[in-house]
Chains A and B, each alone.
Chain A
């Protein structure tokens, strides 16, 4: 637990800071419909840093950062100028062009620089897990300055003017260049778009949208980090998927929140879910009847979750063959693992292995791996044959399950009439009837 806290405290703080600034810009980005502008600006900054490196400046130097910043400002000016074309050419297309040209130009430059790819990679592939306190402090200071200065400046500029557009793209470019180096392109995109989208779904005023985006973004980040630690998953990818799940949950919650349709939406969602489950099982049953030897994703998933299902449709002989193959595969795996551990240990401990012994171990490892594949083939073949023999039964169970799911669906409930008062304060007839029954 203390290990987890020690490893996740700084990334969690970094996520909060990133959500703080990106949710704000994300709301603007969504309203302007320039979704991929962060990727384009980050790529332009990488191009600037690569150019600086080619001219002999160290990638971490102030000059390299100045180049990255200058390139970003040029791109901001370009995007601000081309806003006026957006009635003819959508601005997303212009952003896409900026992105691909910057990426391709950077590749051409990298080709001329030894170890050049490394420097582009350092700019575009940050890792939130290994963020250092010093770089985070710099980023927080930068976000604070931009977060306070941009709204102040934007209020004083005429909305839609070139200067106002330039101020937006320039401020956003500075932020995104720093944050992509901190967290990587994928994660920054998630920080930018998803909390803002959740805010837009659940509030109508800007302040409400921002508050919801901050809260949802921060909670999701903590959940994603915890999941990444608990499941031993790569942090950036886990966070992006967690944000995707958060948006899905927010979407469902949004549907359920609509007061006039709360009951109806829930019912529609439930009916849809049950129909889809029934269709999935019916299709799997039919697929099993047609091609029992092919991949059966639903049956495979069920068998992985409940191994007893596999044993249930096999006869005693098949079960015995499968168990035997499983035990042999396990034994070969253990042997291969032992050999590998022995060879690895002897690299530094005890008498070194000579070439002949290394070759012998390699040939044994090859043989064991081939034998493991053979046993896996036997297991798969036994399962396929058992499925072929019992396909009608298994398919019948699937179809029965599908039918039972559909049949058990309640009838469509009719909306209750509104409790309208009749003239003279009399209750509606339905109420009268029920009272009369009582």
Chain B
């Protein structure tokens, strides 16, 4: 959207787990110089709050003109308001934070971003808008291709509950997750249940991300006859995911 008008950098190195990221001193310098900070929100990047306070750049503080929470207008899934519960699922009280994996949400995210860019740099607002519309047109064309490619995808099991938005958009069925509580290894009875379910529902693939343990997915695959598929949830997590469109492209091809 920014094209050559914007110089963008990211704090979390490509392929690292954002939920367990530890900021470095240079990140402070980057935030101090930034005019806009764009965050995922939904409790996904809580460490950013402290970093923003330390950087002392008023423009990008919560409520400042350069502070953008991309989740603002997104319809969230798996909402469990009130914080972390004891039930299974993702440990985020406000909802599952992986909303960008639904390409349709890009419309909302880019609208939020456009609003902020137009506010900060009103002279170039028209160019930002044109860039956004061009991006959405490309996305729309791709969306039809992706939907068609995943039309008859088999049921899946995921290592971590990263994929509800992706599943909803492409009508995929995830019958279970291996890691029901982040960071805690699955119990043998849970794995036995998943293996039973996997065979019963004829699960086609066990889905994991590159930073998630290989052996757990391999183990379940050997018990269910499913294959293991490595999906990427962020740009740069695998070499093929160079930008947003190629990220979704890669995931669709991997599941096809």
Q: What DSSP secondary structure best describes chain A's contact surface? A: helix
Contact A229 B188, beta carbon cutoff 8 Å: yes
Residue of B nearest to A347 (CB): B168
A284 at the interface (CB under 8 A from B): no
Query: Of residues 282 to 335 in A, which have CB atoms within 8 Å of B's CB atoms?
Result: none
A160 within 8 Å of B (CB atoms): no
Q: Is the interface of B mostly helix, strand, loop or mixed?
A: loop
Q: Which of the four size classes fits the interface of chain A?
A: 35 or more
Q: Which of B56-64, B117-125, B136-144, B207-215 contacts A (4 or more CB under 8 A)?
A: B207-215
Q: Which residues of A are found within 8 Å of B237, using beta-carbon distances?
A: 115
Whether a CB of chain A sits under 8 angstroms from the CB of B79 is: yes
Check A117/B81 contact, CB under 8 A, given A4-B188, A234-B186: no
Out of A122, A237, A348, A349, name the residue touching B214 (CB < 8 Å): A122
Does chain A have a CB within 8 A of B246?
A: no
Instruction: Say which one of B2-10, B12-20, B27-35, B43-51 lies at the interface with A.
Output: B12-20
In the bound assembly, the distance between CA atoms of A121 and B211 in angstroms comes to 8
When C-beta atoms are compared, the residue in chain A nearest to B155 turns out to be: A348
Q: Interface readout for A199-240 with B: 1 if CB under 8 Å, 0 if not?
A: 000000000000000000000000001001111111111000
A64-B13 Cα distance, complex, nearest whole Å: 23
Q: How far is the CB of A10 from chain B (nearest CB, A)?
A: 10
Q: Find chain A residues with CB under 8 A from B172 CB.
A: 347-348
**B190 shortest CB reach to chain A, Å:** 6
* From A8, A111, A132, A236, contact of B219 by CB (8 A): A132
Residues of A within 8 A of B190 (CB): 232
Which B residues are CB-close (under 8 A) to A237? 184-185
**Is residue B227 contacting chain A, with contact meaning CB distance below 8 A?**
no
For B185, give its contact among A4, A234, A355, A365 (CB under 8 Å).
A234
Chain B minimum-CB-distance residue to A376: B82
Residues of B near A228 (CB, < 8 A) are 187-188
Of all chain B residues, the one with the shortest Cβ separation from A336 is B80
Contact of B79 with A365 in the complex, beta carbons under 8 Å: yes
**Interface-side segment among A84-92, A123-131, A138-146, A429-437:** A123-131
Residues facing A in B195-211 (CB within 8 A) are 195-196, 210-211
Instruction: Write the nearest CB–CB distance from B84 to chain A, whole angstroms.
Output: 12
A362 vs B210: C-alpha distance in the bound complex, in angstroms? 30
Q: Once the chains are docked, how many angstroms separate the CA of A8 from the CA of B191?
A: 11
- Contact yes or no, B211 A115, CB < 8 A: yes
Chain B neighbourhood of A6, CB < 8 A: 192
B133 CB–A CB distance under 8 Å? no
A340 touches B188 (CB 8 A): no
- The verdict on A365 contacting B187 (CB below 8 Å), with A114-B236, A347-B168 known, is no
- Cα–Cα, bound, A233→B211 (Å): 23
With both chains docked as a complex, state the minimum distance between the C-beta of B169 and any C-beta of chain A, in angstroms: 9
- Asked whether any CB of chain B lies closer than 8 Å to the CB of A381, the reply is no
Contact A235–B168 (Cβ < 8 Å): no
A117 and B196 in contact (CB under 8 A), knowing A347-B167, A366-B79? no
Q: Is B254 an interface residue (CB 8 A)?
A: no
User: Cβ of B188 and Cβ of A369 under 8 Å apart?
Assistant: no
> CA–CA, A230 to B173, complex, Å?
29
**Whole-angstrom CA separation of A125 from B211 in the bound complex:** 12
Q: Is the CB of B192 within 8 A of A129?
A: no
Distance in angstroms between the alpha carbons of A121 and B16 in the assembled complex = 12
Given A117-B17, A348-B173: A369 and B77 within 8 A (CB)? no
Cα–Cα, bound, A260→B82 (Å): 60
Tell yes or no: A245 within 8 A of B by CB: no
Q: How far is the CB of A132 from chain B (nearest CB, A)?
A: 7
CB <8 Å contact, A3 and B211: no
Q: Are A130 and B218 in touch, CB under 8 angstroms?
A: yes
A348 and B167: CB pair below 8 A? yes
A24 to chain B, nearest CB (A): 26
In the complex, the answer to whether B211 meets A362 with C-beta atoms within 8 Å is no
Q: Is B95 an interface residue (CB 8 A)?
A: yes
A-facing mask of B66-90, CB < 8 A → 1, else 0?
0000000001111111100000000
Chain A interface (Cβ < 8 Å from any Cβ of B): 3-4, 6-8, 11, 111, 114-115, 117-118, 121-122, 125-127, 129-132, 225, 228-237, 340, 343-344, 347-349, 352, 355, 358-359, 361-362, 365-366, 369-370, 372-373
Q: Which residues of B contact A (CB under 8 A)?
A: 13-17, 24, 75-82, 95, 164, 167-168, 171-173, 184-192, 195-196, 210-216, 218-219, 222, 236-237
Can you list 22 A-B contacts (CB < 8 A)?
A6-B192, A115-B15, A117-B16, A129-B191, A129-B219, A130-B219, A131-B215, A132-B218, A229-B188, A229-B189, A234-B186, A235-B185, A235-B187, A344-B164, A347-B168, A347-B172, A352-B168, A362-B79, A365-B79, A365-B81, A369-B80, A372-B82
